[in-house]
Amino acid sequence: MIKRDELRQQVRTTVSGLIADGIEAGVQVCAYLGGEVLIDEVAGLADRQTGRPLTADTPIFSFSTGKALTATAVHVLAERGQIDYDLRIADVWPEYGRHGKEGTTLRHALTHSAGVPALPADITRADLTDWAGMCALLADATPLWTPGTAYGYHAWTFGYLIGETVRRATGRTLTQVLADDVAGPLGVAGELFLAVPDADLPRLATLEDRNLAAAMAAASQFMVNFDRIAPPGVRPDRALGNDPGVLRAEIGAVGTMTARAAAKMLAALIGEVDGVRLISPERLREATTLAMTGDDWAVGFPAPRGLGYQLQEDFFGASGNGGSIAYAFPEIGLTVAATKNLLSAGAEDPMEDLRKLIRGAVS
C-alpha cells in the first residue's frame, strides 16, 4: 500500500530544497493515481525579477512536452472518427504531395518517420510564427528517406505537418481541438495551450537559463544532425521561450502548460478523471505501441516512438528541453508531470529524479 502522506512530504521536501538551494526558481509537480490527485506541489517564483510567486495555475512554456498535447488532440479526433491515422496527407493537403511525399500519411507524421525533419540553416524565431510560410516550406521539401522506412526527430516540423493535416481534414486548428475537446472537458482551459491568448501572457512564468544554452551548444557537436533539426536561430533557450510572438503562435511542437493540467490530461488518456475519458483502452494501446525503433536519424541513437509519444520502459509521454516532463504509466494508473522555469539539462535537471521518486513509491 502506497503511503500517500509520506510520499507527499518527500516530494514537498525535495521541491522546497531545490528552491532553497538555488537549483530551481519555480517548480510544479503533479501526479494522478487511479484518476485522482496523488501529488500537487508548487514552490518558488514565477518571476524572480518581480517576486511574483509561482502558483498551481501558472502556465509555463515547456518546449517539446507540448508534443504530447498535439498527439492527444489527434487521438481524440481519431476516437471520434474525425480523422484516420492512415490518411494520406496529400489527400487533404494537395500541395504536400510532391517530391516523393505523395504516400506520406498522418501515421508517418506522428511517428517522426515522414522524412522532413530538417530546416533551413538561417531560419529564425519569426519564421516559426508564420504558419503559412512553414507549411509552404514543408510542402516544397524533398524527404530525406522514403516515408515510413526510417525515423528522425521532427523537432519543429512535427507540429506544422500534423497541424495543417488536421486543419485541412477537419476545418479546425490544433489549438481549437485542444481547447474544445481536451482542456475544456477536463476543466483546465486556462492551463493547457498550444497558442497562448494575449490575455493570458501576463500569467506565464518567466524563463531563465541555468545550463540549457550550454547543453544545446554541446548537442550540436555530438548529435549527428542536431543543427539540421534545430538550427542556431531556433534552438530551445530562454529567449525563444519568453518571446511573445512564439508564445502566441500555434507551432504544435511546443506548448505552454501547468503540471496539474498535463498530469490530468494524461490521466484521462489512461482512465477516467472526473467523469471524462478521452480515448478508449483499444486506442490507447494503438497509440502507445512501439512504431519506430533503431537509431533516430536526427540524434544518432535509439528514441523509441509510438503515435506521437515517446516510449520508455513502462511509460509514455513527452519531455521538453529545459526540464519539463509529462508521463503516463498505464499499467499502474499513474501519471506524473513537472514544469519549471529555470532551464537546465543533464545532471542539473532534477525533474527526472522526481519522476523516479513518485514511480518508485507506487507499486
Catalytic residues: 64
**Continuous H helices in 60-200:** 66-79, 89-92, 106-110, 125-128, 131-139, 157-170, 174-177, 184-186
Among 96, 28, 83, 85, smallest CA distance to 61 is for 28
Beta strands across the sheet bearing 192-193: 60-61, 256-257, 192-193
CA within 13 Å, CB half, 330: 22
361, 2 Cβ separation under 8 angstroms: yes
Q: Measuring CA to CA, how many Å separate 103 from each of 90, 100, 207, 292, 306?
A: 8, 8, 40, 18, 20
Distance CA 59, CA 339 (A): 9
H-helix or E-strand spanning residue 18 = helix 4-20
Cell of 34: 487511479
For 191, residues 6+ apart whose C-beta sits below 8 A from its C-beta are 57, 59, 183, 257, 258, 260, 261
Cell of 280: 478508449
Q: How many other CB atoms are there within 10 angstroms of residue 354's CB atom?
A: 24
